[in-house]
Each structure stands twice: as structure tokens, then as C-alpha cells.
Amino acid sequence: MSSSLPRVVVTQRFFDDRSIGFLRANGCEVEIAQLPPGRADGDLDQAELEALLAGAAGWVVGHARVTRELLQALPALRVISRRGVGYERVDLAAARDLGRVVAIAAGGNDASVADHALGMMLALARRLRESQADMQAGRWAILMGSDLYQKTVGVIGLGRIGKSLVRRLSGFDAEVLVHTTRPDAAYAEASGVTYVGLPELLERSDHVSIHAPLTAQTRFLIDAAALVRMKPGAFLINTARGGLVQDADLLAALQAGRLGGAGLDVFMSESDPTFAEVTKQLLALPNVVATPHAGASSREGLDRTNMIASQSVVAVLRGEDPAPECVVADGRRSG
């Protein structure tokens, strides 16, 4: 016998019991998709997604591509709620045209990603990966690293994660340069940051950390020309999106010894398999610290984003509005 409750499908792993309980307590039937081993929802094709989501009213999604064709094949689907903050894989125009709501988990992973970026800065500056590899090989010589203390850090993008990183850098007495399309004089005065153009940020920064969204305007924001501008020996951190950095150009700059190293949580090869060999070569470099798009994946961060995503689903299924900062498309307002 089929349930009369609205069905909510979760295609993300690590969805906690508290969030499941919240959905059930608010009248939802919850289904946690059983994905094939080694595959995430971003690896599923349209036919697989259609089979999982047939008849569902709500979808808590990770990195699956949400296309117009998929939405047209799922007429019962009312809300797509991302457990994350990026939405470049969702066709927002199609969602609006078809009367759907798309939400993000705004504010849930700020602290987690900022911690991750800061951790990468420290790991690179103090050469932790290289030191451990040497010790494992029986070489206990000290590798000379550098402090983060009183260094100049460039932050590209000043959304919630960028601002979280700025707060953390205050404990290192760092000079913080910020490049953003929306400078806020009051924020700069309160936080002590300095707004600069991208060329100046690259030329002056000891560490450059990227926290911008991926758009047509920001794609390959850091390419060969930008990398040449960076201070020799500087470190590049990307915990935002693959595609903001031209990974092949970054590989060439690292191989040439221009940069001190790179901290990478995201890669071009996540969306473009032709970059797989570039990623492989980046991972092999001793001065690259890498993680598999895991910056937001702390236990606490996932619990927060799970709940925010669930709250948006419940709001829409009740005919209400999710938190304004979470809504990126609302087709209910069309016409």
C-alpha cells in the first residue's frame, strides 16, 4: 500500500537521524537512496535519477545535474533542496518555468569550509605533507617552513565563507586583502580588511584563498596570466569550485617552481573527465595538499546543512516560504 504522505528522497550520504526525524515529524515519508558503491548522485544519469525520484515531492540533492529534461520527467517534484550552497548544476530557469522551488543550505557549512581553507594554509606553510613523507622514508631532517602569522592573505570573494575565513585570520594578525564585486565600506572598517583589485591581490599576497561562485564571468579566474602575477613562493587555496582555476595552468606553475604550493579541495576533473590526468599529476606533487571536495564534510557541518535543507523542504511542502537566504529559484511566483 502506498503512503499518502509526501515522499522526500535524499540522494546524499551522511544524512543524520535528527534531520530524518525532523522530516518525518513534519509529515514526510523519507527515502534515503541506496547509491551504488563508489558513486555519488552527481555520477547518476537521468534515467537513474528518474527511477529514484519517480513520484517524489521533495529532493535533498548533492551534486546531481538538475536539468530541464529531468524536471519535466518528474511532475510531482515540488522542491529541490541542495545540501550545500553552490547551484551551478541546477537549471534555475527551468525550475522557475516549471513552478519548482530550488533552495540551498545557506549558512550551514561556512565554518567547516573556512576551517578547511585555513588548515590547508597551515599545512602548506609548515610543509606537513612533505615532512611526514620524509619521516616515513627514514629521513628526519627538518624542512624549513613559514609562519602564517603576520602574512598577507588575499581572499577572493566575500560571501559567508569568505567572511568566516577573515574572522579566523584575525587570530594570526594577518593583513587581509579582499577582492569582491560588492565591497562594503562598513564591513571593511569593522573587520580591518582592505579592498583591492585582483591584480594587486595576486601580487601582494603570501596566500590566496578563493571563495567565489562559479559563473560564466569567474570561470578560469585564475589562469596562466593570473598565476604569473602571484608573488613567487605564494600558496593558492581553492575550496570553492573546480573551474575557478585552470588546473593545467596551475600544474605548469607548480612544476616550474613559481609557487610555494597549492591546497585543492576541488578540481576541473570533477566536471570534465579530460582533466583527469592533470588532477593525477597535481596530486603527485609534494607541495600540493588535496582533499576530494570534502571541505564542507565535517560531522557538524553536514548536520547543519542536512537540517537547513530539510527545513526548506518542509516549508515548501506546507505551502510556505523557506528562509529567504536559502531560496535561489521559486517558480511558484511565476505568472
For the segment 174-222, what is each residue's pLDDT rounded down to a tens digit?
Answer: 999 999 999 999 999 999 999 999 999 999 999 999 999 999 999 999 9
Question: Residue 52 in contact with residue 11, Cβ under 8 Å?
Answer: yes
Q: Report the C-alpha dihedral over residues 168, 169, 173, 179, rounded to 10 degrees.
A: -140
Which residue reads 585570520 in cell numbers? 169
Q: What are the residue numbers of the active site?
A: 241, 270, 293
Position 334 confidence tier, pLDDT thresholds 50, 70, 90: low
Which residue reads 594554509 in cell numbers? 121
Has residue 2 got a pLDDT over 80?
A: no
Q: Are strands 101-103 and 79-82 parallel, antiparallel or unpaired?
A: parallel
Taking residues 258-276, what's their average pLDDT?
Answer: 96
Provide the pLDDT for residue 284: 98
Distance CA(328)–CA(108), nearest Å, equals 16
As a whole-number percent, the residues of the chain with pLDDT over 90 amount to 93
Distance CA(160)–CA(157), nearest Å, equals 9
Count other Cβ atoms within 10 Å, centred on residue 280.
11
Sorted by sequence, the CB contacts under 8 Å of residue 313 that are 6+ apart come out as 8, 23, 28, 58, 60, 79, 81, 103
Question: Would you state the cell numbers that stand for residue 22, as one nine-digit string?
Answer: 525532523
Has residue 307 got a pLDDT over 50?
A: yes
Has residue 335 got a pLDDT over 60?
A: no
For the segment 19-45, what is each residue's pLDDT rounded down to a tens digit?
Answer: 999 999 999 999 999 988 888 898 899
Count other Cβ atoms within 10 Å, centred on residue 281.
15
Please give the single-letter amino acid code of residue 278: V
Provide the pLDDT for residue 1: 36
Whether pTM exceeds 0.85: yes
Q: All domains of the chain, ordered by start, with CATH?
A: 7-108+298-333 (3.40.50.720), 110-290 (3.40.50.720)
Q: Which residues pair with 176 in a beta bridge?
A: 153
140 or 35: which leads in pLDDT? 140
DSSP string for 265-332: S--GGGT-GGGHHHHHHHHHSTTEEE-SS-TT-SHHHHHHHHHHHHHHHHHHHTT-PPPGGGEEEEGG
**Average pLDDT score over the chain:** 95
As a whole-number percent, the residues of the chain with pLDDT over 70 amount to 99
For the segment 55-82, what is each residue's pLDDT rounded down to a tens digit?
Answer: 999 999 998 999 999 999 999 999 999 9
Provide the pLDDT for residue 256: 98
Provide the pLDDT for residue 39: 87
Has residue 17 got a pLDDT over 60?
A: yes
The dihedral region occupied by 293, where left means phi > 0, alpha psi between -120 and 50, and beta the remainder, is left
164 or 39: which leads in pLDDT? 164
The dihedral region occupied by 327, where left means phi > 0, alpha psi between -120 and 50, and beta the remainder, is beta
